A and B are shown apart, each in its own frame.
Chain A
């Protein structure tokens, strides 16, 4: 048995027939071939599969593909406009917030959600927000710094924009 779903992923509408037991992460990786979203565990702890569902950070291994029907999904591939970098992507490069890169997409998607709600998070708030994402390489230190860097850049840009409007 398979079920028809229509999902908007990174602004593009996809209609596919999927098995009811298929996890959203496998739909993204195996059907749409968006392999930037990773699988690192089977207990929804590691956070490498984090995406945005209707703008909210979600572990895509905790959802079935059929539950994503008629929802809007953003993955790491669609976080920034083509050819551009989201401030967090730029920050991870500038602050050496990644080593092997496997946790990075999930980290960035989780951090992007945080910065939507909290434009100037403290170190403690950043660490708390990231506690559901594992990184074995960096000791988290430069990831925290990356988020701080991005927060600063985003507020600078907002200021500049406001000034431009005024």
Chain B
């Protein structure tokens, strides 16, 4: 057993499961992290964009003559210059109900004929300094003919709405449905003794990674090679999309580097127009071009999240058992299709409609529409927070309407525990098969941590004293560990979603790992090193994790969908297994034994049942100095593996919020937040808990503070930190975390993923708590539009 004290220097095995301190911290706490904007290349130039202030307009003319003469200006390009360059592609094809492919209008690198959302770029100015580029951009005159616009998803789909793309009728990108035939669901619903109906908006959010997006692209004419430094979550995917689909340049002539990246939360998955445009420009001018978004540009250009308008109905029988669920959602995709936008309201949302419940009949219908707004795509949780919000608001509200305890109503409807080994996975009505689960367990633990009876007593007491205290639940499930390639391929994904892990044992026994996963805060350099050190029985400091550079890492699909450990970690494990297998052959030869008789443990190859052994370091050296070596065995100890999972993973949990609502002002104070999450086995509990904290607070942000606000003219009226309310340190209580472990049955680590869980579960808990507080004061309110500002809560009480 390990005696590791947390610094990772112990050579004994046993790092997995320990809260080892992060090895990557040192550069960040001392100011020596290297983010894209920190990089200045020789002969560097800087870009600034001319962006439309109108949501929808025809570009009549662009006058760059004055700007071209300004000091320091190197080049100016407009939409006409890149009219023959492809637009940025969408990576997932969803089909209409009738089988037709979704509408995919071009997303050009610069707008040519029309601009379609505030911030859409009309021209790029490149100069010797950023200031000169900005000055020249100001001097460009654009003549716009303003056109009517539409920002609301439901309104956009109505006949007569202003068209975002002339060739997309009714602005409908696709319609889609999933589940049981609607007639069956209607039939079940008609027999329900109680139906809870909720019409609500899951509002648009701005992801707000604190590092703005930043790109620095260069071209070397001698080698005919491009290098793009980019703040992305998936450098290989960017290389593939940019080289093969947009610019038509050979993939092997493009190097994409994602150095330190300051948070992503989904917004840095996508291939953005600026990445491809800067790369195109770098060849035109023969100098490197750099651009870093201002925060206002980040608000206007980074893909937003959520933005669903939904009507949902849940039917119950006399006993409180759910008999049917019927959902109609309008999903706002914004002005253009972002890389994975099409799959978010469908395969990451509709497929979660089973939740944790045994609902026998489910149908969801989704209409996805274009509007004159910033594109919408995956944001932490991506579809699954919307699904959880829908289900958990419905069941909590149903409990209030039927005068039942919301915890009891959930217990009544939970899918019974199953481990996925002795009991099969749970087949939902909406395509997915859950891997393993113990749903009642997390709610029981949550109630215990909360002290449920005491809180309900306090609520009664508060009500007697004229105060409104509320308790809200959210018991969620999600699908992550994305994803089995064949499954997502059959659903329209245009990429495989495996991961690559290479383990290179150096001659001295030190280990370099190359992973296609990308860390932008998740701590892979620690977690993956724990796994490798553990499996090889070496010190963590003898392992280095490399990621983020297409030149060093063979291939990869990147980090999103809580996939890094479940998919990327497993790819590393597969390579470790190959190393140990080959190591056994080398060791057997050294010990004059049979390879089948070799065992490997704690850094030693041993002949089974004897004390004859050889160390891992010895075997490594022999692999590279193969003087005495098995015939027919290649030298070297270096393996790469692709891992394609057999199923998604399904973390779940129970979040409980306690709030106090001020009767006079409607102000909501979040008093407590209990989060019990089951993410399967855990490699580093400290890191997992940190992920839960961060996710929970983003979900609380949606409930109480955040929301992108468009006016009727398509202006994003809160596109700055003065106006968009991010959660701050003094808005929050300490999150009380608990855990349960139900291992994933289909990957060797038994892990499920923890990156998105917090954000998926927490929002509904907070809103349900406010609704519960209002009901305790006799205000039978069904819904309040998020974020729950004081004014909205106050209005809900007085109406």
Same complex origin of A and B: yes
Cβ 8 A contact of A139, one of B22, B721, B732: B732
Cβ 8 A contact of A105, one of B31, B260, B520: B31
Contact B729 A144 (CB under 8 A): yes
Cβ-based interface call for A40 (8 A): yes
Output the least CB separation between A15 and chain B (Å): 21
What sequence of 0s and 1s flags, for each residue 16-38 of chain B, a beta carbon within 8 Å of any chain A beta carbon? 00000110111111111111011
Q: How far is B82's CA from A45's CA once the two chains are assembled, in angstroms?
A: 36
Cβ-based interface call for A48 (8 A): yes
What's the tally of chain A residues with a CB closer than 8 Å to chain B?
56
What sequence of 0s and 1s flags, for each residue 99-128 of chain A, a beta carbon within 8 Å of any chain B beta carbon? 111111100100000000000000110111
Q: Among residues 123 to 144 in chain A, which have CB atoms less than 8 Å away from a CB atom of chain B?
A: 123-124, 126-128, 130-131, 133-144
Contact A98 B28 (CB under 8 A): yes
| Neighbouring B residues of A143 by C-beta, 8 Å | 729
Cβ 8 A contact of A45, one of B260, B722, B727: B722
| Neighbouring A residues of B697 by C-beta, 8 Å | 139-141
Contact A41 B721 (CB under 8 A): yes
Contact B694 A93 (CB under 8 A): no
Q: How far is B29's CA from A114's CA once the two chains are assembled, in angstroms?
A: 17
Q: Among residues 161 to 215 in chain B, which have CB atoms less than 8 Å away from a CB atom of chain A?
A: 208-212
Whether A30 touches B40, Cβ cut-off 8 Å, given contacts A100-B520, A134-B726, is yes
Cβ-based interface call for A5 (8 A): no
Cβ-based interface call for A8 (8 A): no
Closest to A21 in B: B131
Question: Which of B31, B38, B292 has the most A CB atoms < 10 Å from its CB?
Answer: B31
Closest to A37 in B: B31
What sequence of 0s and 1s flags, for each residue 15-42 of chain A, a beta carbon within 8 Å of any chain B beta carbon? 0000101000000011001111111111
List 5 A-B pairs, Cβ < 8 Å. Answer: A93-B29, A100-B262, A134-B721, A134-B726, A140-B732
Whether A43 touches B295, Cβ cut-off 8 Å, given contacts A127-B729, A141-B693, is yes
Q: Among residues 715 to 754 in chain B, which have CB atoms less than 8 Å away from a CB atom of chain A?
A: 720-722, 726-730, 732, 734-735
Q: How far is B32's CA from A18's CA once the two chains are assembled, in angstroms?
A: 25
Contact B722 A94 (CB under 8 A): no
User: Given A99-B522, A100-B260, list of 10 further CB < 8 A pairs?
Assistant: A19-B131, A29-B38, A96-B22, A99-B694, A101-B262, A136-B210, A139-B693, A139-B727, A140-B728, A141-B693
Q: How far is B40's CA from A37's CA once the two chains are assembled, in angstroms?
A: 15
Whether A89 touches B30, Cβ cut-off 8 Å, given contacts A100-B210, A141-B734, is yes
| Neighbouring A residues of B38 by C-beta, 8 Å | 29, 35
Closest to B691 in A: A99
| Neighbouring A residues of B696 by C-beta, 8 Å | 139
Contact B262 A139 (CB under 8 A): no
Cβ-based interface call for B376 (8 A): no
Cβ-based interface call for A156 (8 A): no
| Neighbouring A residues of B522 by C-beta, 8 Å | 99
Closest to A138 in B: B694
Cβ-based interface call for B556 (8 A): no
Contact A93 B32 (CB under 8 A): no
Contact B295 A102 (CB under 8 A): no
Chain B residues in contact with chain A, CB under 8 A?
21-22, 24-35, 37-38, 40, 131, 208-212, 260-263, 265, 292, 294-296, 520-523, 686-687, 689-691, 693-698, 720-722, 726-730, 732, 734-735, 758
Contact A104 B28 (CB under 8 A): yes
Output the least CB separation between A36 and chain B (Å): 2
Cβ 8 A contact of B26, one of A48, A93, A105: A93
Output the least CB separation between B130 and chain A (Å): 9
Cβ 8 A contact of B22, one of A29, A75, A93, A134: A93
Q: How far is B26's CA from A76's CA once the two chains are assembled, in angstroms?
A: 12
| Neighbouring B residues of A99 by C-beta, 8 Å | 263, 521-523, 690-691, 694
Output the least CB separation between B137 and chain A (Å): 15
Q: How far is B263's CA from A100's CA once the two chains are assembled, in angstroms?
A: 5
Cβ-based interface call for A9 (8 A): no
Contact A102 B210 (CB under 8 A): yes
Contact B726 A136 (CB under 8 A): yes
| Neighbouring A residues of B698 by C-beta, 8 Å | 136, 139
Whether A93 touches B721, Cβ cut-off 8 Å, given contacts A21-B131, A136-B208, is no
Question: Which of A102, A138, A143 has the most B CB atoms < 10 Å from its CB?
Answer: A102
Closest to B296 in A: A42
Closest to A86 in B: B29
Cβ-based interface call for A57 (8 A): no
Contact A130 B30 (CB under 8 A): no
